[in-house]
Amino acid sequence: MRVTVDMDACQDHGQCCFAAPEVFHLDDDGHLVYDANPDDSLREKVEDAVDVCPTQAITVAD
Amino acid sequence: MPSRVVIVGASLGGLRTAEALRKAGFSDEIVVVGAEEHLPYNRPPLSKEVLAAGISHTAVAFPMRASVSDVTWRLGVPAADCDIDRRVLTLADGATLDYDGLVVGTGLRSRRLAVPGPPPTVAAGRHSLRTLDDAAALRTELVPGARIVVLGAGFIGCEVAATARTLGCEVTAVAIDPYPMVRPLGALLGAQTQRRHEAHGVQFRLGAGVTAFHGDVKVTGVELSSGEVLPADVVVEAISSHCNTEWLASTDLDLTDGVLCDNTLRAHRRDGSPIDGVHAVGDLARFPNPLFDDVPRRVEHWNIPTETGKRVGSALAAYLSGEGYDAAIASEFAPLPAFWSDQFDMRLQSFGAPGLAGGDPDDIRILEGDLEDEVIVGYHRGERLMGVVGIGMLKSVMAYRSAIGHVATAAS
């Protein structure tokens, strides 16, 4: 699974970090960092992260 | 015979319900009915970046998952009537749709002031802001030097005021409340919101009612209860909203302030009984949240259509398949409300229900930071933390999420 975050759209709301903490987290400055190639077993959590992103910045491809 | 779910309301709640139905294995027909011409789109940008940068459906449309590619969208036709006992929906064009499951997700519309003056139309310079078309109409008016009077100083009012000011408009915000944002934020952060807006040149008239609009064909001024007349090229009415439930008026659903629901979002009849197969999602669903108490409330925050849509999709799929429905009803639904707002360089971020703070002066207090700069304020009822609001400090605000609804301790 390939995860892409449009970093121009991302506003560091951090909602994805609660939906899929294995994939998304905020660094010490509060900016998003993420794993672009997470394990397929995390698909459901990543889909939840896509849903809760206020700026709809996350996309998932197989 | 294949069954059919009809979702009334083609916005975020309707989309998430359709997705959740498919995810739960419902493979029969889904029809989504929408009053607007557009497929579901994200509304928060309408008062912020989209209003500032320009409007297109593409810029705000929600991506469509493959799982909902076979959903039938009936757009541009509002629902007109519903027969709950016979399970028939009637649309405004006279068409009827039988259903096995019904989802009510028709949301809210802006309330317009009923005072003397030109009518509430764009041509008369009277705008509201809930839809893409509203935003497109307002966008063309926000030119440098234009005199904008914003009525109401809640989320939409304050965001429009900030965006318009940033675009170079002369902005005055009028509200009956003592502070902007006072209902969600309380006086402490309401005063901070006011200070920050004023520093950017927004003017306020607070504790003020509107008695009339001046002008013949087009608004030229707004007359306040004080007698003052504010010159205006454009008026934006952001005072409050109505639930779009008129199409349910002939039913015996309890439509007191939205659609009364149980914790499974099943709609209630006026006699208090829930109706299997009839659910509500989004802004108009009035449901109890055990995170706080057993009082049913509507929650007008962006994450609620998604939370309620997922809940309803799975419960409705279970009901229609006859498998797992009792377990779905027995499970507890306790979504954590969340909101944010961007106004100038201020980012407000909240978790929980700050509006449920108790009346004690100490119930709303600073948890971290500096009121004049970045700050986190806690909203308590007795010892329980009901909600937090941060200005900035996002990462620290998030640390309080797990404390919401519990007896307050330091964030961990």
Number of structural domains found in chain A:
1
A2 within 8 A of A62, measured Cβ to Cβ? yes
Closest residue on chain A to B401 (Cα): A18
Residue B394 has pLDDT above 60, yes or no: yes
Report H helices in B71-153: 132-139
Report helix, strand or coil for B361. helix
What residue type is assigned to position B129 of the chain?
L
Per-residue confidence (pLDDT) for residue B408, from 0 to 100: 61
Q: What angle do CA B202, B203, B206 make, to 5 degrees?
A: 130
Contact B44 A54 (CB under 8 A): yes
Q: What confidence tier does B48 reach under pLDDT thresholds 50, 70, 90?
A: confident
In angstroms, the CA B316 to CA B24 distance is: 9
Q: What is the pLDDT of residues B221-234, one digit of tens each?
A: 999 999 999 999 99
Residue B93 has pLDDT above 50, yes or no: yes
- B401 vs A contacts (CB less than 8 Å): 18
Residue B282 has pLDDT above 90, yes or no: yes
φ and ψ of B378, to 5 deg:
-100, 140
Our CA-based measurement puts residue A34 at a distance from the nearest CA of chain B, in whole angstroms, of 16
Beta-strand ranges (E) seen in B179-233 are 203-206, 210-214, 221-224, 229-231
Mean pLDDT of chain B: 96
Secondary structure of B152-219 as H, E, C letters: CCCHHHHHHHHHHHHCCCEEEEEECCCCCCHHHHHHHHHHHHHHHHHHCCCEEEECCCEEEEECCCCC
- A15 vs B contacts (CB less than 8 Å): 303, 338
Per-residue confidence (pLDDT) for residue B135, from 0 to 100: 95
Residues 6+ apart with CB under 8 A from B121: none
Domains of chain B, earliest start first:
4-108+243-330 (3.50.50.60), 112-239 (3.50.50.60), 345-403 (no CATH)
Residue B92 has pLDDT above 90, yes or no: yes
- CA-CA distances (angstroms) from residue B242 to B8, B245, B260? 17, 9, 15
Q: What is the pLDDT of residues B126-148, one digit of tens each?
A: 999 999 999 999 999 999 999 99
- A18 vs B contacts (CB less than 8 Å): 398, 401
A 10 A CB-CB count for B76 gives 14
Residue A7 domain boundaries: 2-61
- B347 vs A contacts (CB less than 8 Å): 11
In angstroms, the CA B356 to CA B367 distance is: 17
Per-residue confidence (pLDDT) for residue B411, from 0 to 100: 46
Q: What is the CA radius of gyration of chain B?
A: 22
Percent share of chain B, pLDDT over 90: 94
Per-residue confidence (pLDDT) for residue B412, from 0 to 100: 42
**CB proximity B174 to A under 8 Å:** no
B355 within 8 A of B183, measured Cβ to Cβ? yes
- CATH number for the domain that contains residue A45: 3.30.70.20
Q: What confidence tier does B407 reach under pLDDT thresholds 50, 70, 90?
A: confident
For residue B121, the cross-strand partners are none
In angstroms, the CA B252 to CA B82 distance is: 11
User: Which of A14, A52, A54 lies nearest to residue B398, judging by beta carbons?
Assistant: A14
Q: Which of residues 35-64 of B touch A (CB under 8 A)?
A: 42, 44-45, 62-63
User: Which of B338, B342, B395 lies nearest to residue A30, judging by beta carbons?
Assistant: B395
Per-residue confidence (pLDDT) for residue A6, from 0 to 100: 95
Q: What is the pLDDT of residues B17-38, one digit of tens each?
A: 999 999 999 999 999 999 999 9
Residue B55 has pLDDT above 80, yes or no: no
Q: Is the dihedral of CA B378, B239, B107, A12 positive or negative?
A: negative
Q: What is the pLDDT of residues B175-218, one digit of tens each?
A: 999 999 999 999 999 999 999 999 999 999 999 999 999 999 99
Per-residue confidence (pLDDT) for residue B59, from 0 to 100: 87
Q: What is the pLDDT of residues B354-390, one digit of tens each?
A: 999 999 989 999 999 999 999 999 999 999 999 999 9
Per-residue confidence (pLDDT) for residue B184, from 0 to 100: 92
Selected residue with higher pLDDT from B309 and A14: B309
**CA B224 to chain CA mean position, Å:** 27
- CA-CA distances (angstroms) from residue B147 to A60, B125, B164, B176? 44, 11, 10, 20
Residue B34: how many CA atoms within 13 Å on its side-chain side?
A: 20
